[in-house]
Amino acid sequence: MNPDPDKNDLTRRQFMTRAVKAGGSIAVAGAAGFWFHDSNGPGRSEEIESDIRLPDFSVPDLGPKMSIIRGRNRVETLRLAVKSIGGIENFIKKGDRVLLKVNAAFASPQMLSATTHPQIVSEMTRLCLDAGASLVIVSDNPINDPGSCFTLSGIADAARSAGAQLFLPRDDAFKPLSVPEGKLIRNWPVLYDPLKRINKIIGTAPVKDHHRSGASMIMKNWYGLLGGRRNIFHQDIQTIITELAMMIRPTLVILDGTTTMMTNGPTGGSLADLKETSTMIAGTDQVAVDAFGATLLGRSLNDLPFIGMAEAAGLGTADYQSLNPVMAEV
């Protein structure tokens, strides 16, 4: 700061004074830093709650409906399953904007049934568009990298060729959201961008064994709407599945039990993990649909606590037979 060092007329006293002041400033700054230091790091903010709420996407006054169609041809069983509960027009009206929430969790070939089959994606998209939907978005937040998952599973091609818009998650597509009665989904990032653009949501998933939860079907599939470090929820997976069902009240769900992953789920990896179970289930009660799906896996409701927990939360019935499901064979 001194323009001419040679003319430095600083006295010894001034120098000492400045040195003491500088030392004092450093000490105060250090003490302040130490005082503010939080060795535990910031905790989760409970006070700043998101004000984003998802609407109930179900069709009012329609009531619980369910169909169970036997057959090996996915397209035919899907068509009949939807028709048996009143047809797609019951659920999708002209101008509706639809999110088709698929399971694209893994970059896995379609023959391994770890992801939603492309035929389900293309046929559901066509059904929605034929019913007058103005927009069909196909999306998921996969476990693996999204590009590979959607491409290698065949979902990307199926969606685009049928006229759907493929939405791959990106950082700015997530918004924090809370489930009002939930204890885990509090201020948690959710794939909100596609959700804010739609007024109907259709969930579709294959029936799979799951090493942690016992099964991965419709309710577990909403896990693909979560962002962030969601793997911590594996520690309490039955509760998170229940809360996911609280978060999404779907318009319609399609559970594909044409081929069931009986073992080594949710990834599988071998055709030896699969069994032809030749069943397609459509319904509005996701709890009932999952309860039936459990039978394809040979699991009881005791094996899959999330079904009972979802029923206890008032999200549907585990007694799927009480809905008098339409049964048919293609």
Partner 1 sequence: MIRENKKYSRQQTFSSLAILFILMVIGTGIFLAQFDFNPAVFQKDLFFPPTAKDKDFALTPLTKSVIALPPGLVPLTLPESFDAQNLSDKINGKAELYLSAGFISLSSQRYKDKKGSNLWIEAYIYDMGNGQNAFAVFSAQRREGAATLDLTPYAYRTQNALFLVHGRFYIEIIASEATDLAFDPMKLLAENFVRNTAAQTVAIQEKDLFPVQGLVADSIALISTDAFGFDRLNQIYIAEYELGQERLMAFLSRRQETRAAQDLAVAYQKFLETFGGQTIDANLPIKNAKLVEILETYEVVFFCGPFMAGVREAASKEQAINLALQLYEKLKEVADES
Q: What is the Cα 145 distance to its own chain's centre?
A: 15
CB of 273 to partner 1, least distance (A): 7
Selected binder of partner 1 within 139, 216, 251, 260 (CB under 8 A): 216
* Contact flag: residue 16 with partner 1 (CB under 8 A): no
Nearer to partner 1, 46 or 61 (CB): 46
Least distance between partner 1 and beta carbon 272 (Å): 4
Asked if 136 and 125 count as a contact pair (C-beta separation under 8 A), the reply is yes
For CA atoms 227, 230, 236, 237, the dihedral sign is positive
In this chain, which of 210, 225, 242, 309 binds partner 1, going by CB under 8 A?
A: 210
Q: Which residues between 104 and 123 bind partner 1 (CB under 8 A)?
A: 105-107, 109, 111-112
In what helix (H) or strand (E) does residue 329 lie, and over which residues does it extend? strand 326-329
CA distance 29 to 12: 26
- Closest to partner 1 by CB, 31 vs 271, is 271
d(CA 102, CA 322): 27
Contact window for partner 1 (CB under 8 A) among 87-95, 129-137, 230-238, 242-250: 230-238
Which of 95, 228, 298, 314 contacts partner 1 by CB under 8 A?
A: 228
Torsion angle, CA of 228/205/67/271, rounded to 10 degrees? -150
The binding track of 167-186 with respect to partner 1, each residue x by CB under 8 A or -, is: -------x-x----------
Six token digits for residue 200: 């109907």
**Nearer residue to partner 1 within complex by CB, 239 or 267:** 267
Smallest distance, Å, CB 216 to partner 1?
7
103 binds partner 1 (CB under 8 A): no
Among 13, 37, 94, 229, binds partner 1 (CB under 8 A): 229
| From 57-65, 193-201, 246-254, 265-273, span contacting partner 1 (CB under 8 A) | 265-273
**Cα dist. 26→12, 13, 121 in Å?**
21, 20, 64
Q: How far is the CB of 139 from partner 1 (least distance, A)?
A: 18
Burial of 237 (0-12, 13-18, 19+ CB in 10 A): middle
Terminal alpha carbon distance of the chain: 90
- Residues 320, 289: contact at Cβ < 8 Å? yes
Q: Say if CB 324 and CB 67 are below 8 A apart.
A: no
The residue assigned the tokens 């319609």 is 252
Residues 24-63: x where in contact with partner 1 by CB under 8 A, - otherwise, as a string? ------------------xxxx--x---------------
Residues engaged in binding partner 1 (CB under 8 A): 1-2, 14, 42-45, 48, 105-107, 109, 111-112, 143-144, 148, 152, 174, 176, 187-189, 210-213, 216, 227-231, 234, 237, 263-267, 269-273
